[in-house]
Chain A
Amino acid sequence: MRKTTYDQAASEALMEEFRRDDKTVHLGTDIPADLREEFGEARIRQTPIAESSFVGAAIGLAGSGFRPVVNVRMATFGFVAMDQFVNQAAKITYMFGGQAKFPIVYRMTVGASKSFAAQHSISPYSMYMNVPGLKIILPATPYDMKGLLKTAVRDNNPVISFEHMGLGDIEGEVPEDEYLIPFGEAVIRRKGTDVTVVALAKMMYEALAAAEELAKKGISVEVIDPRTLIPLDRETIKESVKRTGRFVVVDEACITAGAAAELTALVVEDPEVFKRLKSAPRRVCGLDIPIPYSPPMEKYALPDCGNIISAIEQVMKNK
């Protein structure tokens, strides 16, 4: 099959959806050249660096029958517009009793790994997960990026696409033919029988490397990528843990009150899953510090394959 990068997959998704629906509009400080060339300045609109204005303008566009896609760029810049995300976009459907639809895609770059330091590196999924009314996608492969982003553009709700800064250049198989990926469907990246590892975004690759390593020691690791956090495919995760009896969750966001905590609660709160647990679940997450600049410190702040292997060996101690 043909290969593209993560970034190319996103471009293709938007190009296809903008051709399909002339109510789509693009807002952002960057101009995607291919979209601008085909659809012009009016629809592919460059904005000043004024996040509140364009994050909010997308809401007004959506409420008026348009389907905006907003490139917020770094997730850290998104915080400048938190009133519009939290008080407005997330709540407006509900507050108005569902009388209007607000189809919006907000794209934001998350993660760390490039020595961008604290104000350009963060993985704030759980902050948004705590705000009902938003959907959250977290594509980790070019295939998922294209399929999920296309679904996001067609969804009738505000969808945040968290895209990892370290994945832009990775290549993967992407079919020529059109496809969509429904929200709320996790994918099992590797089958295993001893332990279930749920890994988010770029951590999925670290988890796969850990699984490969541990296979040599006779430990069979199942790796699950939820792909979307809201909605979340609870069943696939719970079914897997029921089979393996062991659970590790990996996320590079800070450990305190992160998505990993929510996923752990999901596993231990279900009595049917809980009684099959052979050992206490473990979280492998980023340290509770702002992301530092210097490479040795940045690397130290983030979980990696080695941390995942240690955690899996811990949960395997109780046979």
Chain B
Amino acid sequence: MINNQEELLRLYKIMLTIRRFEERVIIDYQSGAIPGIVHSYIGQEAVATGVCTNLRQDDRIISNHRGHGHCIAKGADLNRMMAEIYGRKTGYCKGKGGSMHIADFKIGMLGANGIVAGGLPISAGAALAAQLEGGDKIAVVFFGDGATNEGEFHEVLNLASIWKLPLIFACENNGYGVNTPVKYATGLDHVSERATGGYGIPGVVVDGNDVIAVHEAAKKTVADVRAGKGPVFLEFMTYRWRGHYEAPGLADLRPAYELENWKTKCPILAFERRLLKDRAAEKQTLKDINAQVMQEIQHAVDYALASPLPAPEDALEDVYSA
């Protein structure tokens, strides 16, 4: 358990930053200020937060299309993230990538990825790099339950297993691949059975809406993987509150009661209640953190809005490296 109040509040602030960031992105998408596709992470904040707070800056993560939370939790700059989503020249990728391709190699964030399971082979390489370097760096790959039906997923489980790669498979099982229920698509209640049964990789099922549970599971796993014990599969049970992506009139075929039920298990409200009950924080402290987060998000939007759009011919740069 985390006994340190500072650490608890750090988790709280990261989760809240993700939530407020995503809420603002949705509003600005709906107003037309954000030009392109965004996939909201709302509802899953505890996973990125609980995992990434156990990592060092030199550990490497690979993310997926729903990647804002992973970026924020790994320490990405909100201004440059927002500027990227706004398509500005000052964004992380100079406006070339947008929401689905945010990366910050300086903090070990090796990129979000728009192809389901597409980041998994890359993560095997990042983990192999850590192994070859000979230190105790690790890699973490975030993906959803939907990725577990892709061939790339299976190839990489196998590779990680036979090479004993220092790689954590962080699977966010939010119950659906777009609109396809995981039970239908896999025939399993828990996709981690694929890791344990087929590839000899230890698998752990974790309540993905309980940030302390996520943090504890990740802490133990990170220590094991750092110690060279090979890959581990963490399956976080959670739920996304929004449709697969933001779009006017997007068909969301999930039953409405599910969302209502999961909203009662909001990872942030649950953690707030716990902090107050355990007297780990005063109500006012949480309010102050919220105000600070709101200010940071507003600052990020202001930064994006004040940033220039790229010139059309900037599109010609960065196809190749020098």
Contacts and interface: CB of A to CB of B under 8 A. Distances in A.
Nearest to B162: A48
30 contacts: A42-B132, A48-B162, A50-B159, A56-B121, A56-B125, A56-B152, A56-B156, A57-B122, A57-B125, A57-B159, A60-B110, A60-B139, A63-B126, A64-B60, A64-B129, A66-B132, A87-B115, A88-B113, A92-B111, A93-B318, A95-B93, A96-B97, A96-B111, A97-B92, A97-B318, A98-B317, A101-B321, A132-B319, A133-B319, A157-B320
Contacts of B115: 83, 87-88
B158 interface: yes
Interface in A30-82: 42-43, 45, 47-48, 50, 52-66, 68
Given A60-B110, A100-B110, 4 more contacts: A50-B159, A63-B105, A63-B110, A83-B115
A56 B120 contact: yes
- Best-buried of B111, B120, B121, B159 by chain A (most CB within 10 Å): B121
Sorted nearest first, the 5 A-B pairs with minimum C-beta distance are A56-B121, A60-B125, A64-B129, A98-B318, A97-B93
A66 B158 contact: no
Contacts of B129: 60-61, 64-66
Contacts of A43: 132
B287 to A, nearest CB: 37
Given A53-B124, A61-B125, A61-B129, A88 B118 contact: yes
B155 interface: yes
B271 to A, nearest CB: 33
A135 interface: yes
Contacts of A196: none
A84 B155 CA distance: 13
Nearest to B167: A60
A300 interface: no
A47 B321 CA distance: 28
A84 to B, nearest CB: 6
Nearest to B318: A98
B314 to A, nearest CB: 10
A17 B96 CA distance: 33
Interface residues of B, number: 47
A286 B317 CA distance: 35
A94 interface: yes
A65 B108 CA distance: 12
Contacts of A56: 118, 120-122, 124-125, 152, 156
Contacts of A162: none
Interface of B: 60, 62, 91-97, 101, 103-105, 110-111, 113-115, 118, 120-132, 139, 151-152, 155-156, 158-159, 162-163, 317-322
Nearest to A61: B125
A60 to B, nearest CB: 2
Given A59-B125, A60-B129, A96 B93 contact: yes
B101 A25 contact: no
Contact of A64 (B97, B130, B151, B156): B130
Given A83-B115, A94-B319, A25 B132 contact: yes
Contacts of A97: 91-97, 318
Contact of A55 (B120, B121, B126): B121
A154 to B, nearest CB: 12
A53 B155 CA distance: 6
Interface string A135-178: 10000000000000000000011000000000000000000000
A101 B103 CA distance: 13
A6 to B, nearest CB: 27
A102 interface: yes
Nearest to A98: B318
A99 interface: yes
A60 B159 contact: no
A61 B128 contact: yes
Contact of A60 (B62, B92, B152): B62
- Best-buried of B93, B115, B118, B132 by chain A (most CB within 10 Å): B132
A96 B120 CA distance: 17
Nearest to A68: B125
Given A101-B321, A133-B319, A135-B320, A60 B158 contact: no
Contacts of B62: 60
A133 B159 CA distance: 27
Contact of B123 (A50, A52, A60, A94): A60
A43 B134 CA distance: 12
A53 B158 contact: yes
Nearest to A101: B321
B75 to A, nearest CB: 15
Contact of A96 (B101, B131, B152): B101
Contact of A48 (B104, B114, B159, B321): B159
Contacts of B317: 98
